[in-house]
């Protein structure tokens, strides 16, 4: 099994959002930066809104129609405006199974990949990726902790979490 | 209950034997079916392996496992059917939707057999298979409404005539089976926990009433993520009060909400489109609560209902043969450069 060798980044960026709409706006902001070969590693408890985040992200890169849960099918592929969107949920997989599935072809493919429950397969995630951990803090409010691995994602985080006040922005 | 077997050959070409292969997700399955309706064998990997476990199958996700099983299961299917490869008139295979690595194994095997025997290849849609599993147990009368409920799919499909599919509703987030499995996780059952939730709900004496997600009044779509959140917040609320949550009452509340909405929309669709038959299919069709409610609602309105036995509801190759039969009878074959398609439109697959 090939494993990524970069150790944990220690820099965490925290974004607090108070409504579902502001989670959506955050996903849209990330989508503006994303391109082929980018990997978002999403974690958070059941019901935290991982799939909701993925839906907003997909819509922002131009995926038309319904983006629903990939839990059962593991991987769903969609066409975006410019590049495809690969939506994964690895909850059902062991590390070995995930490795055998050849996820690398997606990670290094022509699209952007979003992996739900990514921490389960962290050793085989690509060396550069952006971890997002969503925590439920209220019915709609969430705390999103971003952990960038690699300089590209560090710069993403600095771009949109540089604001001293992380409350929602007035516009999308 | 709905077992009526009609094995009469309706093929204009007379008797024929179809070899069908299904590897779209967890199961490796091969079937031999005569005239599109008579199952000579239907071998499913999880059911022949020794590690069959209570409460669900061991997921067989990795492509490597399909590769390991496919030849053995193919041979077993031929042996059980008392058939040899020379008797095969065509090969059907699940082309999609599904997991690409898993689909590829079946597609490559099917192409190899079709090429070696010089017989037609029929690329088949997985959901068409679930729907036409009903044709293995009875006659379908059109227009029909199919309620497809499985781990990965929740769809209401209108069949105006044979082999013409129109999706009128689908899930916007979790499939019913996924919602069951996720609630099962919250109730601390092992994965896949859907069957445990069904059982707990059946045994419950109390019910925590949970919201129904009807969406827009004219929509046949579904959404179950709000219901999942409602279960989670009920659990949290109990814990904050220092009480232990009543899991069986929650299971019951969840099940009642799902069944109300799923059957409610299916019945509404049947009325709107003047359906002459209701078809229930997919792995979640094994859910007792769902079967019972849909049966009684259909009976009330005098609508004939077909539900395949459990073995034909979960992923299996006989259902792929049943759907491929639509194409066989019309001489609509695939070429050998057929590609496995992780996303495949059901409507486009129509005859």
Question: Does B11 contact chain A (CB < 8 Å)?
Answer: no
Nearest to B342 among A68, A77, A139 (CB): A77
Domain count, chain A: 1
Distance between CA atoms of residues B171 and B305, nearest Å: 22
pLDDT confidence of residue B4: 41
Give the rounded percent of residues in chain B with a pLDDT score beyond 90: 77
What pLDDT is attached to residue B120? 98
Q: Which residue in B195, B156, B215 sits closest to B284, CA to CA?
A: B195
Q: Is the pLDDT of residue B123 over 70?
A: yes
The residue range of the domain holding B189 is: 141-307
Q: What is the mean pLDDT of residues B277-281?
A: 97
**B283 interface with A at CB cutoff 8 Å:** no
| pLDDT digit string, tens, across residues A90-120 | 988 888 888 877 888 899 999 999 999 999 9
Do the domain assignments include residue A59? yes
Mean pLDDT of chain B: 90
CATH number at residue B89: 3.30.420.40
Co-location of B181 and B293 in the same domain: yes
Residue B188 contacts A, CB cutoff 8 Å: no
Position B205 scores a pLDDT of 94
Residue bearing tokens 């921490």:
A119
- Which residue on chain B is closest to A70 by alpha carbon? B152
Nearest CA in chain A to B182: A46
| Res A60: pLDDT | 96
Residue A168 lies in a domain: no
CATH number of the domain where residue A33 is located: 3.40.50.300
More confident residue, A9 or A27: A27
In-domain check, residue A120: yes
Is B160 exposed, middle or buried, given 0-12, 13-18 or 19+ CB atoms closer than 10 A?
middle
pLDDT tens track for B226-255? 999 899 999 988 988 999 899 999 999 999
For the cut 50, the answer to whether the pLDDT of residue B50 exceeds it is no
Nearest alpha carbon to residue B158 among B327, B272, B301: B272
Point out the least confidently predicted range of B39-43, B148-152, B335-339: B148-152
Neighbours of B300 (CB within 10 A): 9
Quickly state the pLDDT bin for B48 (edges 50, 70, 90).
low
Give the mean pLDDT of A140-158: 93
Percent of chain A with pLDDT over 90: 62
> In terms of domains, do B116 and B57 share one?
yes
B159-213: pLDDT as tens digits: 999 999 999 999 999 999 989 988 998 998 887 788 899 999 999 999 999 999 9
Contact criterion met (CB < 8 Å) for B62 and A97: yes
Residue B11 lies in a domain: no
- State residue B62's pLDDT score: 62
Indicate the helix (H) or strand (E) that contains B21: strand B17-22
Tokens at B337, concatenated: 């450069």
What one-character-per-residue DSSP string does A44-97 give?
Answer: E-TTSSHHHHHHHHHHHTT--S-----TTTSEEEEE-SSSEEEEEE-TT--HHH
ipTM of the shown complex: 0.75
Kindly state whether residue B202 falls inside one of the protein's structural domains.
yes
Quick one: B92 and B149 in the same domain?
Answer: no
In a domain, A1, yes or no: no
Residue B212: HSE in the Cβ half-sphere, 13 Å Cα cutoff = 12
CB contact under 8 A, A66 and B171: yes
Chain-chain contact of B174 with A51 (C-beta, under 8 angstroms)? yes
First-to-last alpha carbon distance for chain B, in angstroms, is 30
List the single range of A123-127, B10-14, B324-328 with lowest mean pLDDT. Answer: B10-14
- Cβ distance B62 to A71 less than 8 Å, yes or no, reads no
Q: For residue B3, is it within any domain? A: no
Same domain (yes/no): B106, B166: no
pLDDT digits (tens, 9 = 90+) for A37-82: 999 999 998 889 999 999 999 999 999 988 988 888 888 889 999 9
Least confident of A93-107, A138-152, B91-105, B315-329: A93-107
Q: Show the tokens assigned to B204.
A: 């419950």
Q: Of A49-53, B107-111, B272-276, which gets the smallest average pLDDT? A: A49-53
Tokens of B192: 């896949």
Instruction: Say if A56 falls within a structural domain.
Output: yes
Same domain, B89 and B192: no
**Tell me, what's the pLDDT at A164?**
39
Q: Are residues B317 and B296 in the same domain?
A: no
The reply to whether B120 and B151 lie within a common domain is no
Q: What is the pLDDT of residue B14?
A: 73
The answer to whether B99 contacts chain A (CB < 8 Å) is yes
Alpha helices in chain B (DSSP H): 45-48, 63-80, 100-117, 126-132, 176-186, 194-203, 225-240, 247-272, 288-300, 310-313, 317-329
Q: How far is B329 from chain A (nearest CA, A)?
A: 31
- Total tally of structural domains belonging to chain B: 2
Q: Average pLDDT, whole number, for chain A?
A: 86
Q: Which residues pair with B92 in a beta bridge?
A: B20, B122
Which structural domain range is residue A56 located in? 13-160
- Shortest distance between the Cα of B59 and any Cα of chain A, in A, equals 8
CB contact under 8 A, A72 and B25: yes
Select the residue of A46, A76, A78 nearest B185 (Cβ to Cβ): A46
Is B225's Cβ below 8 Å from some Cβ in A? yes
Are A71 and B181 a contacting pair at CB < 8 A?
yes
- Tell if the CB–CB gap between B178 and A72 is shorter than 8 Å: yes
Q: What is the pLDDT of residue A2?
A: 58
What is the mean predicted confidence (pLDDT) over B41-66? Answer: 61
Distance between CA B75 and CA B85 in Å, rounded?
9
Pairing of strands A112-116, A13-17: unpaired
Determine whether A9 is exposed, middle or buried from the number of CB atoms within 10 Å of its CB (0-12, 13-18, 19+).
Answer: middle
The pLDDT-based confidence of A1 (bands split at 50, 70, 90) is low
Q: State pLDDT tens for residues B140-155.
A: 999 999 999 988 899 9
Q: Do B166 and B234 reside in the same domain of the chain?
A: yes
Examine residue B223 and state whether it is found in any structural domain, yes or no.
Answer: yes
Beta carbons of B162 and B142 less than 8 angstroms apart:
yes
Pair B156, B275 in one domain:
yes
The per-residue pLDDT for B71 is 92
Across the interface, whether the CB atoms of B101 and A101 are under 8 A apart is answered: yes
- Residue B188 inside a domain? The answer is yes
Percentage of chain A modeled with pLDDT above 70: 87
For position A165, what pLDDT does the model report?
41
Q: Report the distance separating Cα B335 and Cα B118, nearest Å.
A: 12
pLDDT at res. A65: 86
List the structure tokens of B219. 């929509």
Q: Which of A64, A69, A70, A87 to mutate to test the interface with B (most CBs of B within 10 A)?
A: A69
Q: Is the minimum CB–CB distance between B169 and chain A shorter than 8 Å?
A: no
Specify the DSSP class assigned to residue B134. Answer: G
Q: How far apart are the CA of A76 and the nearest CA of chain B, in angstroms?
A: 7
Is B61's CB within 8 Å of A72's CB? no
Residue B94 sits in the same domain as residue B155:
no
Neighbouring-strand partners of residue B88: none
**What is the pTM assigned to this prediction?**
0.86
Output DSSP code: residue B341: -
Taking an 8 Å cut-off on Cβ atoms, the answer to whether B99 and A75 are in contact is yes
């Amino acid at each position: 099994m090939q494993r990524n060798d970069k150790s944990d980044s220690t820099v965490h960026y925290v974004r607090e959002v108070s409504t579902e709409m502001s989670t959506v706006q955050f996903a849209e902001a990330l989508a503006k930066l994303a391109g082929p070969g980018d990997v978002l590693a999403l974690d958070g408890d059941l019901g935290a809104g991982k799939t909701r985040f993925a839906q907003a992200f997909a819509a922002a890169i131009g995926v038309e129609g319904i983006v629903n849960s990939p839990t059962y099918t593991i991987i769903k592929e969609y066409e975006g405006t410019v590049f495809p969107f690969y939506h994964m949920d690895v909850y059902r997989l062991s590390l070995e199974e995930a490795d055998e599935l050849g996820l690398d072809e997606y990670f290094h493919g022509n699209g952007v990949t979003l992996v739900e429950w990514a921490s389960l397969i962290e050793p085989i995630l690509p060396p550069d990726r952006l971890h997002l951990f969503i925590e439920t803090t209220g019915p709609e409010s969430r705390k999103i902790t971003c952990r960038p691995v690699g300089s590209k994602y560090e710069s993403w985080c600095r771009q949109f979490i540089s604001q001293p006040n992380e409350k929602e922005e007035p516009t999308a | 209950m709905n077992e009526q077997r009609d094995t009469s050959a309706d093929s204009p070409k007379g008797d024929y034997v179809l070899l069908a292969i299904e590897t779209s997700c967890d199961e490796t399955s091969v079937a031999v079916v005569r005239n599109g309706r008579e199952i000579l064998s239907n071998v499913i990997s999880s059911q022949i392996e020794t590690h069959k476990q209570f409460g669900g199958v061991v997921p067989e996700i990795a492509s490597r496992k399909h590769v390991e099983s496919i030849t053995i299961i193919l041979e077993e299917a031929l042996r059980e059917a008392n058939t040899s490869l020379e008797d095969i008139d065509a090969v059907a295979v699940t082309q999609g939707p599904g997991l690409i690595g898993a689909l590829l194994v079946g597609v490559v095997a099917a192409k190899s057999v079709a090429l070696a025997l010089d017989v037609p290849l029929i690329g088949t849609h997985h959901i068409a298979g679930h729907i036409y599993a009903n044709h293995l147990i009875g006659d379908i009368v059109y227009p029909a409404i199919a309620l497809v409920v499985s781990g990965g799919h929740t769809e209401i499909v209108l069949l105006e005539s044979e082999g013409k599919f129109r999706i009128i509703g689908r899930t916007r987030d979790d499939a019913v089976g996924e919602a069951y499995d996720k609630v099962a996780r919250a109730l601390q059952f092992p994965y896949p926990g859907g069957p445990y939730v069904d059982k707990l709900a059946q045994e419950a004496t109390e019910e925590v009433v949970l919201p129904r997600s009807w969406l827009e009044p004219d929509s046949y779509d579904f959404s179950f993520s709000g219901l999942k959140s409602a279960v989670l917040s009920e659990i949290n609320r109990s814990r904050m009060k220092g009480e232990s949550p009543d899991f069986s009452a929650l299971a019951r509340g969840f099940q009642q909400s799902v069944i109300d909405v799923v059957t409610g929309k299916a019945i509404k669709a049947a009325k709107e489109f003047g359906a002459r038959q209701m078809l229930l299919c997919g792995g979640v069709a094994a859910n007792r609560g769902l079967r019972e409610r849909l049966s009684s609602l259909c009976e009330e309105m005098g609508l004939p209902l077909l539900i395949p036995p459990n073995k034909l509801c979960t992923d299996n190759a006989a259902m792929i043969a049943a759907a491929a039969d639509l194409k066989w009878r019309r001489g609509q074959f695939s070429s050998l450069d057929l590609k496995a398609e992780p996303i495949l439109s059901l409507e486009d697959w129509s005859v």
